[in-house]
Amino acid sequence: MTPLTTLLSNISPLTGMILACLLGGVLSVCVAALFALNAKKNLIPLLVSYAIGALLAAVFLEILPHAIETSLNIEAMTATMLFGILLFFTLEKLVLWRHCHGEHCEMHAMHDEAHCPELHPQQQSSKKPQGAIKFKLPQVAPAQVVGHHHHAHSHDGGRSGMMIMVGDTFHNFVDGILICAAFMVDMQVGLVTALAIIAHEIPQEVGDFLILLHSGYSKKKAFLFNIFSSLATLVGGLIAYGALNFVQHWVPYILSLAAASMLYVAVADLIPGLHKRTAMRDTLSQIFLIILGVASVALTKWLVEG
């Protein structure tokens, strides 16, 4: 008997599951934070491309295959994913409505067009329609304009960050169910499963940090939100321990919602921002970093499962 085997034999499945869920979630967040939070601010918009790749790889290489494998009704699972995309679209609209009512947003758009014509060349070149209401905008100093433009356009008001945290919480909840199921089979199986899940989570957590920073969150808030989201692993494990058969039935649908949120953030929120930089050098760096994000998740998956 090795020391590890002796130690595991003295720990109950419930205790092992709680320690794995709690320490595993915090460990994956801390390791990801070492990479993401030490990145220079001017590199964060560039590294968003890496985050896109990591998100897409997590969806198509990890979450959806597992959801399909465990689903008894694939059509119901994909319908749940469709519902999830529409749900997150609606949630984002509600966030937009809360922060920016219609007339207020239109006035900001008109303000930008008047004071920053280089931002809207097409609008400035078009003729004013007859009968348009005329109004005088307040004069703003060039420095103020630059500052206002930077504040308005440097991030998205936290929308992408909120979406990604919702999806990551769903994902962590399911991880807790999987860890619990593994510990109920055998302590060593539970430990290996927990380590595999932690390893899979790290590249995705790096992407989550980058998206939160890009979305306007401070480093402290990004770290705390990720720690809070990681606690869903423990919640999922405890609920699964009490009603494993019932909860396992819902795993494919919870995974579908997690995949929907990550896919929505990557495709609807982040990728359109990359198209604003059209230079060939920027495009090549974006493609390279997206591939790097995909490769990091794929490599981690291969190393753990191989």
Higher pLDDT, 144 or 285: 285
- Give me the mean pLDDT over the 231-259 stretch: 86
How many Cβ atoms from other residues are within 10 Å of residue 105's Cβ? 12
Asked if residue 175 has pLDDT above 50, the reply is: yes
The CA distance from 7 to 235, in Å, is 25
- CA separation (Å) from 215 to 13, 78, 158, 203, 298? 40, 29, 5, 18, 26
Kindly state the tokens that stand for 93.
């609209």
pLDDT for 10 equals 66
What is this structure's pTM? 0.62
Asked if residues 68 and 256 have their Cβ atoms less than 8 Å apart, the reply is: no
Q: Which long-range contacts (CB under 8 A, 24 or more apart) does 89-93 make?
A: 89/264, 89/268, 91/162, 91/163, 91/166, 92/159, 92/163, 92/268, 92/269
Provide φ and ψ at 220, rounded to 5°.
-65, -45
The per-residue pLDDT for range 51-110, each reduced to its tens digit, is 888 888 888 988 888 889 888 899 999 999 999 899 888 877 776 665 454 444 544 444
Out of 30-34, 104-108, 156-160, 280-284, least confident range: 104-108
Q: How many CA atoms lie within 13 A of 130 on its CB side?
A: 0
Concatenate the DSSP letters of all residues of 251-281 into one string. HHHHHHHHHHHHHHIIIIIIHHHHTT---HH
pLDDT for 124 equals 44
Higher pLDDT, 53 or 119: 53
pLDDT band for position 118 (50/70/90)?
Answer: very low
Provide φ and ψ at 37, rounded to 5°.
-75, -15
Asked if residue 282 has pLDDT above 50, the reply is: yes
Asked if residue 193 has pLDDT above 60, the reply is: yes
pLDDT for 290 equals 92
Helix ranges, the chain (H): 3-9, 13-36, 44-57, 64-70, 74-99, 102-115, 121-125, 142-153, 159-185, 187-214, 219-242, 244-264, 271-274, 280-305
**Cβ contacts of residue 50 below 8 Å, gap of 6+?**
206, 207, 210, 289, 290, 292, 293, 296
